[in-house]
Structure 1
Amino acid sequence: MGPNADPEVDWECLRQCEKDLARGGAAGFTSRAALDSKYGKGNWRPLPRFVIWQEHSMKYRAIDNGRSAGHNSASSTKTRVHTAGHDLVVAVSHAVWLLRDQIAENFGHNVNLEGGIDDESAAYRWKPGADCDANVLIIAFWHPGTSSLRYMELFGHPFGLLGAVLNYNRGPEFQTAICRQLLSMLCVHYYDDNLTLGLSSERGSGQQTYNDLCGLLGVKLDRTKRTLMNPIFVYTGAVFDFGQLLPEGLVKVDAKNGRRESILSLVAEHRRSKWMSSGQASTLRGKCGFLGSQIHGKVLKQCERPLIARQYHDTVRSIGPVLDSALQFLECVLAKVKARQVQFGLQEALTIVYTDAMWEPGQPCGLGLVNHSPRRSKPLGLAAIVPDAVVRMLVPKDTQIGQAEVLAALLGPHNLPELYRNADILHFVDNQSALSGLIKGVSPKEDTAAILSVYTIMVAQLGSKVWYEFCESSANMSDGLSRDGLLDPVAKQFGIDAQYACLPTLPSFSHAPLVTLLSALSSSQCVLKICSA
């Protein structure tokens, strides 16, 4: 371990170490000889420290590299970290909305749900390490003033050690459990970020109670990061707007101000330099967390696997085709998926969708879809034949029914966007492979993954909220449309208004950039003009 190519980075690393000393979180700087004398030669192991620049906070963060030092590979865990994301916040708002009449009766009509944020100060550093681990909680860094390698013993948890994450998270979990089970508070946390939810009639007493509890437990909160109770608040990178929750049952969720631009800037820089480190992949995943929520259609899953591989497994830092495709997908998502609006208590019933595909060797591949929307008096059926050009783009195999079943799902948002826009949809599929892909949004098969990418973006862009379920082929209303087209007797029997639809001529699913695929979809002229009949 030697000096950095940029001396300012070494000076910043030194300042971070001095900050730990000033807080009382570490012993003074020491030497290898002193540590050999204290622990015995070969009986201690340091973590190399480096610093990274964080755009969102405009400051450096010290990272103690447990991965390269071997500490993380020597760790094992029996539990998993549990945190609360955006979906739970929306679920809580729905529960409050269901109680709106009782709330109005007891507290009046000018009451609303609010959220307040508290953040722990230097969260990892003040959580003590075990005495038996003192010989491995040692930091190594290059001291630019003495031009030598120096060491520092940490009293608290290093940021970059696998075991520190789980050990730290026990504290917030305990605090949240007390708030919920003993104090009957609406309280959730994401690592060191705590969100207190409560009615405006409570005048912030819930958040004050959480602060009092932290004081009793010795938990240090950063007062400069505290956000007082408000109907509009930022939690883990997303803005929640409860301003119209109780009067209208409306919740708005979007990325916080500047987050999309920040992510796009990072992605553009990575694609330009063709370079991404493990830490940079972690940073990008963290910034994109809001896209991984159910409320945003879990669109992050489409590109998360290459980012996870780069964060935890890759030994190279150059960006190859797979990771570049993931970054390109992120660019598409950020451009097309806007703020989500969740409307509770709508009078509109569920839209019921059935999709199916027919695959027989030597025969055209048929697709079928039935959409029973409350926006129409009659169910609408779509039948399509997959063009030979599209079939040739699929990965060659004995049967391509799984890919065809996912293509069938694409018929709906592509041809019937107005029946999908902001609709609550129950979608039935009779193929387990396709069902799994639609639920997860990802597939290990590159052609299926590409189709799912396009489908996921289109559904998210239309604001559709889709729940997928399995049904037997005998109960699938679209089965006949995929086989017999408009001659399907079931469609005629149940009065389904059947029409021919089509898929656009697309470039190779396996290799085409997402923008090319989306461009082909949006430029297609086969979108049906559906009236309200």
Structure 2
Amino acid sequence: LVLCSALRPAQHASLAVSALGFDRAKEVLQHDSLEGGGEDWPNAYRSCPMSADESRACVVCWHHREWGVPAYQLYTGLLFGLPLAVTSFNRYSRFSEALGRRLLFLLVSLYFDDAHLTDWSSSKGSGQQAFRDLNEIMGSPFAEDKRQDMAPTGTFLGLDFDLSEISGDGTALKARQTEKVVELTGALRQSMEVIRAVLAMRPRRRVEVFPSEHCRFVAASDAAEDVPGEGTGGFLLVWRSGLPSREAFVAEVSPSVYSLFTPGDHKIAQLELSMVLYALTARPSRFRGARGVWYIDNVAALMCLIRGRSDSPDLERMANLIHVALFALQTWIYWEWIPSKSNWSDSISRLGWRDPWHRMHHFKCFPAYFPASLWRLPLRPVTLIFELL
């Protein structure tokens, strides 16, 4: 069973550039560009080929109305819901992927029935069409209505990609190499500040050989902004040791909090991410040395927590503060996405003190305030403050 990453378009682009060599790639990109496209098999399980012997393991049973007894029938395709069908079908998609790579020399990857191709715009979609023809010959044609024509932008596995600007890592330091200005830009100063703060902390990677005796916790946070500028938020903490073992917090989101963010109508991602910062400053002593899992339903905020950075100045600043705080407190958190309808902090984030769910489950409720003073400080002083909290 081989899984595919939603970052495959970027990996394809990186392979294409590496194959050319960086100097040659820069020349080619002056008059050509990379594009991505997508394909999808319709009724994928039912169209997956199967041998006659193996079909005996795929038997459909139902009550025959006319016969009045159970009826059995051999199925000629994979049964949806059969546990081993996932592995069997993945073998077929891997076979199609291998043929596209070896026979057509295409940058193509499949995740079960979803295919992504990366090719040069000068090919004018010929690679995608060749892959479609190949799969039709195999007896598994792609769905016409699910086709994504080759283009600089698109979507693969729910993640949007943009190949219109193939460059380095996109950071301020990398962009500086092609700039002709002599002064330090704000983005470059911020990057330097992060580097200096990290070097000053002298981080070390620790591996726990024996079972950890640190306090464990589970957390969930959420925010809402039905009206621009009038957001709400809250979070729930469950501690394995210490009292109270269940804590609920209602975040005070005042206009002064919004004034710290860059101008804009909607700030839901900022509010979602800020709940973590609210929590770390509300209970620093309990978070110190703790290990836990944190559930969050906003993908943009989740990616900031995982990567530690963002292209948004607000999210970038928030991510820096959170990771500095986690390092100072020696707190390890595994960030996990959760569907909005399953997020158990959704109710308190919207209803606040009137939320019945946290009372029903015996959470003790407290207010939480945004650490505006930390927002304005350099990262090194922020580290020292969290070490003393």
TM-score (norm 1): 0.38
Matched, 1:402 2:269: yes
Superposed CA offset, 1:317-336 (max 9, x none): 64322111111222233334
Query: Conserved in 2, the CA contact under 8 Å of 1:375 and 1:419?
Result: no
Partner of 1:223: none
Query: What is the deviation of 1:346?
Result: 1.4
Partner of 2:279: 412
**Root-mean-square deviation (Å):** 3.3
Query: Conserved in 1, the CA contact under 8 Å of 2:215 and 2:241?
Result: no
Partner of 1:437: 304
SS across alignment from 1:455: helix
- The one-letter amino acid paired with 2:231 is C
2:254 pairs, out of 355, 372, 387, with: 387
- The one-letter amino acid paired with 1:327 is M
CA distance in 1, matches of 2:259, 2:22: 46
Partner of 1:330: 195
2:316 pairs, out of 449, 462, 470, with: 449
Query: What is the deviation of 1:351?
Result: 1.8
Partner of 2:184: 319
Query: Conserved in 2, the CA contact under 8 Å of 1:367 and 1:386?
Result: yes
**1:449-528 pair list within 5 angstroms:** 449-506=316-373, 512=376, 514-515=378-379, 518=382, 522=385
Structure 1 residue ranges without an equivalent (≥5): 1-70, 77-302, 528-533
Superposed CA offset, 1:3-27 (max 9, x none): xxxxxxxxxxxxxxxxxxxxxxxxx
CA distance in 1, matches of 2:316, 2:280: 17
Query: What is the deviation of 1:72?
Result: 4.8
Partner of 1:142: none
Matched, 1:354 2:354: no
Partner of 2:23: 73
Superposed CA offset, 1:460-490 (max 9, x none): 2211222111112222222222222233211
Query: Conserved in 1, the CA contact under 8 Å of 2:281 and 2:371?
Result: no
Query: What is the deviation of 1:408?
Result: 0.7
Partner of 1:190: none
Structure 2 residue ranges without an equivalent (≥5): 1-20, 27-168
Identity of aligned residues (%): 22
Query: Conserved in 1, the CA contact under 8 Å of 2:215 and 2:290?
Result: no
CA distance in 1, matches of 2:198, 2:277: 17
Partner of 1:366: 232
**1:4-403 pair list within 5 angstroms:** 72-74=22-24, 305-310=171-176, 313-316=178-181, 318-336=183-201, 338-344=203-209, 345-348=211-214, 350-361=216-227, 364-376=230-242, 378-403=245-270
Structure with higher RCO (Cα < 8 A, 6+ apart): 2
Q: Residues 517, 501 of structure 1: CA spacing in aligned structure 2 closer, same or farther, 3 A cutoff?
A: farther
TM-score (norm 2): 0.51
- How many residue pairs were aligned? 225
Query: Conserved in 1, the CA contact under 8 Å of 2:249 and 2:366?
Result: yes
CA distance in 1, matches of 2:340, 2:202: 33
Query: Conserved in 1, the CA contact under 8 Å of 2:197 and 2:380?
Result: no
- The one-letter amino acid paired with 1:518 is V
Query: What is the deviation of 1:364?
Result: 3.6
Query: Conserved in 2, the CA contact under 8 Å of 1:383 and 1:481?
Result: yes
